A and B are shown apart, each in its own frame.
Chain A
């Protein structure tokens, strides 16, 4: 299977009670229409979803795992960024 003829696509599915499309896997397909069909056949067999996105894998830019410390560690110790210091009166309910 030449990669050029059958590129890799990443599949995202939004489930019945979900709000966001979640990544569920990948597949090979010749073009977008076939990729959508293949995603329906492979990833929605058990009623997993209501909406499918397929994205060519090479359209996705991912962060480098080696940069993990640089990118994410500084945010861990900055509790002033979290909105958790308010006293919410009970009457307001869930917020």
Chain B
């Protein structure tokens, strides 16, 4: 259940970040594109929360997971809670995430957990598009004007240290991998690297040299950003508990 929750939190937080672009994107077409990606991710989050709720077998449902947990109970990777920054930062973040998500969901369609496999079949197609969209933009931003390249490079420097967490495995997850329910992220690293290297090369950008990686999201140790994000996300439910419409 915790496994599904981690993935659900990744999707919800990243989806929320993208929704922050609504009405603010640099052009109308990107306003639609970013919010569409956000909606795809929130859809994935809903399916995963519902599955987690079933596995937990208790009182909680997708809304309670999303709106009534505090930051230390969230299990998303730190990458997705990073602020949007400028357009380059958002697209680089999306590239780094989707280059993982796409092979991840493709591998997960062979999961022994039928629900996860079904979610994976849908999410794979969505994330294929997210990856393409992010790749195309990062290539154009990198191989663009001096300003766009500088911003894209700065985004890479800013976000690179958060990529290691995508490949972390703890003991509980190791058990699920052995059971064939989860996929070993280490097996995805080669694909992820190849994708990233390919895009960065075409974008004339440099992958940062540092190999030091941030960690903590998977155990609930989050950056300050998540607190602010949740205060917006959860505001309505916290102010009017139990409200429905």
Do these two chains interact?
yes
- The SS class assigned to the B binding surface is helix
Stretch of B25-33, B114-122, B159-167, B205-213 at the chain-chain interface: B25-33
Q: How far is the CB of B36 from chain A (nearest CB, A)?
A: 5
For window 22-48 of chain A, which residues contact chain B by CB distance below 8 Å?
Answer: 27-31, 33-34, 37-38, 40-42, 45
Q: Is the CB of B132 within 8 A of A41?
A: no
A6 CA to B140 CA, complexed, in Å: 13
B27 touches A6 (CB 8 A): yes
Asked if A1 is at the interface (CB within 8 A of a chain B CB), the reply is yes
Closest to A42 in B: B32
Q: Given known contacts A27-B29, A41-B29, what 9 new A-B pairs fall within 8 Å (CB)?
A: A1-B27, A28-B27, A30-B140, A34-B136, A37-B33, A37-B132, A37-B136, A41-B32, A45-B36
B27 & A34 in contact (Cβ 8 Å cutoff): no
Size class of the A contact interface (CB-based, 8 Å)? 10 to 19
Q: Name the residue of chain B whose CB is nearest to the CB of A39.
A: B29
Query: Chain A residue with minimal CB distance to B139?
Result: A33
Q: List 22 A-B contacts (CB under 8 A).
A: A27-B29, A28-B27, A28-B28, A29-B29, A30-B140, A31-B140, A34-B136, A34-B140, A37-B33, A37-B132, A37-B133, A37-B136, A38-B29, A38-B30, A38-B33, A40-B129, A41-B32, A41-B33, A41-B36, A42-B29, A42-B32, A45-B36
